[in-house]
Chains A and B, each alone.
Chain A
Amino acid sequence: MSGTPVDGQPDQSGERWPLHFLLNGRRVDVWAAPHETLLAVLRDALGATEVKYGCGEGVCGTCTVLLDGAPVNACLLLGVQAQGRTVTTVKGLPNQDGLHPLQRAFVQHEAAQCGFCTPGMLLVAHAFVRDHPSATREQIRAAVAGNLCRCTGYTRIVDAVEAYARAGNPTSNRGGRDGG
């Protein structure tokens, strides 16, 4: 539409500027207006619909992504703030056989119902367990308290994260207790 984004030059309209970052390990180049949120850039410009809009106020955590490995609300960040950085969505979780062990734990514990909060929840839990591998159940509760879920009542989410943390080995495929 407006050609390939080139660093430092706006597009023909003069409203959008080139933006590049690593999205799930791959460099992406897009045009973005300075006022556009990272959420809008990800969903609308890059088609990363696994990042969900839930409130736009930074309250529900549904739009959580990892920015240089740390969880952030993509609705509160401007796209330009991701310039040259690393953005990870749920599709960027490292996996074997298609699933990260934390994802596997969520499936085994049925920690998702409607699944709308799940991508954000997974990213927050992943970052937290990475930094706090021996977290207690209460600490896990506190860690995911910034991400709202209306379906599960949280018990199974905490179960899944705890089982994943207990498994101790982030590359292990064994995340859960029961399940099928």
Chain B
Amino acid sequence: MAGEHPGSTPPLLAYRVIGRPLQRYDVLDKVQGTTRYAGDWQLPGMLTGRILRSIYPSARILRIDVSRARALPGVAAVLTADDVPANALHEDATGFNLAPFATPILAVNRVCYQGEPVALVAAESEAAARAAVEAIEVHYEPLDAVVNVETALRPDAPRVHAERENLLIHWKLRTGSVEQSLRQADIVIERTYRTQRVDHAYLEPEAGVAWVDADGVVNVRSATQVIEHFRTLAEMLCLPHNRVRVIAPFLGGGFGGKEDMTVEPHVALLAWKTRRPVRMVWSRQESLLARPKRHPFVMRYKTGAARDGRLLAQEITVLADAGPYPLLSPRVLFAALVAGAGPYRIPNVSVDAMAVFTNNVPASAMRGFGAMQVTFAYESQMDLVAEQLHMSPLEVRARNFLQKGDRLPTGEKVETAVALPALARHALDALGERSCPTTRTARVGRGFACNLQPYGRTVWFRDHASAWIGFETDGSLVLRSGVTDLGGGQAASLAQIAAEILGVSLERVVVHFGDSALTPLAGGTFATRQLYMSGNAVLKAAQELRALMAPVGAALLEAGPADVQFADDYVSVIGSPQRKVALAQVVVECGHRGIPTAHLSVFRGEQAPPVDLETGQGKTFPDYTFGCHATEVEVDTETGIVKLLKYVACHDVGRAINPQSVEGQIQGGAVMGIGQALMEDIVLEGGNNLSTLFASYLIPTALDVPDIRAVAVESGEGKGPFGARGIGEPPTGPPPAAIASAIQDAVGVRLYELPMTPERVLQGLAGTGPPEG
């Protein structure tokens, strides 16, 4: 069953607010330093919360002694697993009970990764909290740690969880006859690709404040992407769902890292136990140590093609290191399964996508969500096919690009435009003239890569989002949405949509967002779903509200309801703009006539039953966003340093609601992908994290990247409001493959492992490695 499609929208030319680079109201506050982030919140009598974390990746807890800590001055609470009313998050990220798991909130008898929370402290000051954490005595018996994802699957491998095998999830996709097609192919390219563990590195570390209010409701105001965690928190505290409230203020970045809970269970527990407000802010070092990361992938690709460049078959195996708890790994691997073959028409495909338990730091959601890592592999494979067939990389891709109406390997049809030929042309053209090397030892090269990224939740989660819009009697507008705003302009774009439809000037719209008690739930901000889901919910609510109020405005103007328009804070007669009445007056008149001036709508996304588990066949995601990035690099053959000279990122965004925000998403996402391509790496040794400083975990600075030229193509086809597509995640995918291709073009070295550090480039130049399939 397909999802909803809101009613027809005005033609593009009629838009007054949509598609314009309008100032974002939140940016106005942010430049003045007045935005109150989660860690900026202060309440009277507030305590400081801290976590005692495991020092071992794998150990038995023999004994925890908190008596000394509890006796220290200024300590209000010291909690261990015994103090948690229901110490288990019952998770099943597959949505149909394929991988159920009970994840402890505080470790019970056993720690499974370095940094796992063992005990909590609330104290009068930061210093007292630190002292209390240090005074807790934990006696451990270290155990062997499972740290290698490939050996973890051997039958004799030690288990991360005694009661359960190390294979967390194994998704399968089968279409056509891969083996036979590979035998018949003119060429077969087989390679192994490795991507590394990456941190979100949002500038705002995890933070939140909890308090119990006068009605006995536990309030948590935290940096979260998902206010719906209130239910999980209530279950942890053995309270009815309606006794916990989660508020998400503007976030200092999320990128998937604030999709699972962070401080929420800890501050909620401490506030519940002490009956006092508790604030917890994780240090950067804690965040780097223990927050879930992007999954490292090991990807085996076998691609068969015909002499003319047609792709015949692809056999893919993806192994991902999940760490010890499932979190969102099953869903990440499902995205890898669906996107694994890339934006190409391939008749015979098999994919095995597996997540494996280890004692490494957990992995979960991060921008790109499994569809990002596979881009490095499938695009490198395309280059290799081209090379072997002596064709240009563009020619091979062009011969195989998906088109609207084609079927993905899952059997589902591509329902919207695929502008890849145009995207590739734009991206490559924008590189302009080839640069000359700046030194004698430097070589210049170019590369590009294409991708597809789903937007919206997997269809069997039957996604929906609500929005409420109401007029005040002065004609100003209130919008309530449970959306969380990570910094991408989620709230501001909803204001733009409502302003467009209801003819209210943008500065007369106020958005209340991200409060599970006061705003209708919209689902979290993840999976590039909010413009699609909440954008459509707001569009629907606004259209329905306009339909309710239009007859009243028309009556005041002595015109037919179809003959009036809402614009510039007035209702006016189309074609006779001087015949107008202020929206405020229409609102008052609606009151007199008993016509509602507020309206709640629910938008339902694409809905379908789960895929076939043996073949992966079925509808998976609502839709996809396509892109092509092109880059020019300079490689220093003496140092191995790769410098980006030019970078173009081109995506079909369907329709840009706010072109500046769209370009900002593309630029920022590309740089995140560039960081993964060239420098970022959470290094673990035996499960011990060696990258717990911002001085050792390097993300791109302004000097590491060139200007990012963002090109937003508007096909007008997308399933979001006004034909928009999601653009939050898609730009992270292409950079590693595009840069790998450019390095190959410059110095003839192809790298199969990220990050592409100077060391790896030099090894390649010297012919001493790096290893390949």
Contacts and interface: CB of A to CB of B under 8 A. Distances in A.
Contacts of B28: 99, 107
B203 A116 contact: yes
B30 interface: yes
Contacts of A107: 23-24, 27-28, 31
A67 to B, nearest CB: 17
Nearest to A47: B42
Contacts of B33: 49-51, 89-91, 118-119
A145 interface: yes
A142 B700 CA distance: 13
A154 B644 CA distance: 14
A53 B281 contact: yes
B162 interface: no
Given A62-B203, A99-B31, A103-B31, A150 B668 contact: yes
A60 B694 contact: yes
B441 to A, nearest CB: 22
B294 to A, nearest CB: 13
A57 B694 contact: yes
Contacts of A156: 660, 663-664, 667
Contacts of A91: 32-33
B171 interface: no
The main secondary structure of chain B at its interface with chain A is loop
A108 B699 CA distance: 26
A66 B671 CA distance: 28
B202 A150 contact: yes
B486 interface: yes
A115 B23 contact: no
B268 interface: no
B203 A52 contact: yes
A109 B707 CA distance: 14
Given A57-B284, A57-B695, A142-B703, A115 B202 contact: no
Contact of B31 (A52, A89, A118): A118
Contact of B202 (A51, A116, A155): A116
B284 A55 contact: yes
Contacts of B693: 55, 57, 59
A155 B561 CA distance: 47
Max chain B CB contacts within 10 Å: which of A147, A150, A154?
Answer: A150
B707 A108 contact: no
Interface string A135-160: 00000011011111111111111100
B520 interface: no
Contact of A149 (B40, B203, B281, B489): B203
Max chain A CB contacts within 10 Å: which of B31, B40, B283, B707?
Answer: B31
Given A90-B32, A106-B27, A153 B667 contact: yes
A3 interface: no
B252 interface: yes
B694 A145 contact: no
A38 interface: no
Interface string B693-730: 11100011111010110100000000000000000000
Interface of B: 20-24, 26-37, 39-40, 42, 200-205, 250-253, 255, 281, 283-285, 486-489, 660-661, 663-664, 667-672, 693-695, 699-703, 705, 707-708, 710
Interface of A: 47, 49-57, 59-60, 62, 89-91, 98-99, 103, 106-110, 112-119, 122, 141-142, 144-158, 178-180
18 contacts: A49-B37, A50-B32, A52-B37, A57-B695, A60-B284, A99-B31, A103-B32, A110-B24, A112-B30, A112-B31, A115-B27, A115-B29, A115-B250, A116-B252, A118-B33, A150-B200, A153-B672, A180-B20
